[in-house]
Each structure stands twice: as C-alpha cells, then as structure tokens.
Amino acid sequence: MSGETIYNEAKQVLTDFRKTLINDMVGERVKALLDARHDAMNKYKSLIESLEVKFGLLYALHRYALYIKFKGKDLGGGFHAEVKSSYVGDTSAYPLEPPYNVSQRPLPSVPIFKFTPKTTVDVLESTFEGNATSAFVVECPHDTFLETPDVSNVFSDFYLLYPQFKQRGRWSFNSPFNPDFQEFEGELLRLSRLLTYSGDSNRYLLGVNVWWEASSFNSDGVPAPQPAFIRVVGFEGLPETVKYNVTGHRVPQTDQRMYVLGVRTYTFAGFMPCAVGYSEIEGNPPVEVWRNIFKVKVEVNNELMGYTDPAVGEYDVNATTPFTVTAYPYDGYALDHWEVDDVNWGDSNPLTVDFVTKPLTVKAIFREV
C-alpha cells in the first residue's frame, strides 16, 4: 500500500470519527440544548464547532501527522502515518554555491529567484520618469492615431510621452521677444512617442524638449534664471487638432516657438513664448547624462508556425534607438503581418522599429500557405 493511500485513509478515519462524535453529542443533547439558557447554548455550540481534525506536515520531509485538537489541545495521539515516497526527476547538488555550510547532496531541482534591490539613483530616476510622463501628453480628437490611447474622455484621446534622454549643455537661440538674450544653458530632457496617424498610416515621432533649471544670458554674459524652457516637435503631415498638453497648457503641434514656463515679473507668472528656435553652439556640443531603457517583448501568434530572430522573449533597448526582428516561418506557413502594440505594421521582413520610445510588444502573425 502506498504512502499516499495510507495518509488518505488515516485522514478519512479521523474525519469520520469527528462526524460521529459530533452527531452523538448533538443527538443525545437536543433536548438539553433546547432547554438550556441562550448563553449556555452558544457556549455549547462553540465547543462543538471547535472540534476539528488537523492535518500537519512535520519537520521531516514526507512525514505527515493527523491528530485531533479540541480548543487548541490534543485529544490524544490520534492516528499517525508515515508516508514514504521516492523522487524521480532532475536533481541538483545543494547548496548550489559556496560557501558550503553543510555537505552538498542531490535534491530535486527548484526554480531559483534572485532579487536585486534598486539603488537610490534608480528610485530617483523612476520617480522622475513617472512625474515627467504625467506632465507632458499628446491630446487629439478620437481615432487620430491607430494606437490605443492611454486615457480618453468624451472629447479627446491622450497619449503619454516617455522620457528618452537628458543632455546638459549650452545652446543659442533667436529671441525676437528679447533680442538681448542670445544663449541659454540647462539640462535638456527629450520626451517622445512614436504614433501612427490614421489619416495616412505614417508614423510620427512626436515629442517635447524641456530644459530644466535653465538660465538665459545676454551679450554681457549676465544670466537670468528660468524654471524651464519648452519647445514641441511638429509635423506638416499632422492636423492642427493634434496638440501637446504641457503642464496644463495646450500647444498646437504646429507651434514651433520656444516657451518659458513660470516667467515671473512683478505681477505675472505663466507660460509665454520666448524664442522662435534654438541650435547647438559650434564646438560646444551638449553632453548626454542619462538615457532611458525600454523593454521590447517579441511574440508569435503560434510557435508551431514559425520563429523569430531574436527569439521570443524580452529585450532591453536604449531609448530612441532602432529594434530589428526577423520572422522565419516553417514549411507550409508564411508571415502574414507584424503587430506592434496591436497595430498592423505590414509584412516587411525583417521589421525595424526605427525609434523605440516606450515599452513595446512586437508580434509576428503567421498563417498557413
């Protein structure tokens, strides 16, 4: 008789014993219960319900004990069965790695999970990324883009912009609003999102440039600190109804002026244009100080129909860099099309996503020939 059978039989014996005991106690004392005062009945009911069978696992592996407890105390030794079994399968020598506090011995292999805590810098970057993403979004009428919007209301669709990289440096700009100020410096943050316009199925790299803690300089080199400069990225192929929502201010994507955020005079604080363009200073290019990394997941609709290179799985890709994947259908099958975040990207093979600007899922859809 196997150990499992012994265990199950012992369990059933104790379970039946509990039922019999409870039935006898209740059956013989029905009148007593009916005649007793209410508080006595509740106490008696509580005693009956606290009689239970416990199934416990002892410290030794594969050694099980069954016993009866009443109000948390043993009623007796009960019935004890020792289950013996053998393992058939892959084993590994445990402990896996030194130092070996005990002698290694073969044990069934189990998955090993390792957790690497985030550093303080990682936590700060994550917090910064979340705040920046929520402050800069694309706002447009419904169905302007093929991608599923992050948020929608009765009027518009909203797409989050993702931080791509940071640069620190100095730039020159043309400021007809204040010609005396010709240069500025600060930390540039680029936020972007690659979206497919439903009108022509072309993809556009929308984005916002933000210079944090910037300062503008006049011809004498005197600085004027500014909280932030902002300039949006626009395209002629997109309608003016596509706007950027920048910290609550709507800026049409066709508006290529630079804005200063939080300008303060004696009585005014707000969001106003400050320049018509900017450029790098020759011989003094900005220095990149951070670049985001996004997860790209590769999938296929049916692994019996074909495979991909790189293989199905997740990959870390630097922000705004390309990602290429090739589909290899098996005999009798063909690549029907690619889907990137559920949007049909056609049947080009290999497929290249020119700019990875957010976490993506790239899926090869195979079909029978």
pTM summary value: 0.64
Over residues 123-168, the pLDDT tens digits come to 556 555 666 667 789 999 999 999 999 999 999 999 999 999 999 9
pLDDT given at position 125: 61
Q: Are strands 162-174 and 156-160 parallel, antiparallel or unpaired?
A: unpaired
Q: What is the model's pLDDT at position 319?
A: 95
User: Which own/partner contact pairs does 240-244 have at CB distance under 8 Å and 24+ positions apart?
Assistant: 241/140, 241/141, 241/144, 242/138, 242/139, 242/140, 242/144, 242/206, 243/138, 243/139, 243/140, 244/136, 244/137, 244/138, 244/139, 244/206, 244/208
d(CA 191, CA 273): 20
The per-residue pLDDT for 358 is 95
Would you list the domain boundaries of the chain?
3-88, 120-291, 293-368
SS3 label, residue 337: strand
Q: What is the pLDDT of residue 258?
A: 84
pLDDT of residue 207: 92
pLDDT beneath 70: ranges in the chain: 1-7, 10-11, 14, 17-18, 20-89, 110-133, 262-271
Which residue type sits at 280?
E
Task: Please tell me the predicted confidence (pLDDT) of residue 234.
Answer: 86
First to last CA, the chain: 55
pLDDT tens by residue, 1-15: 555 666 677 667 767
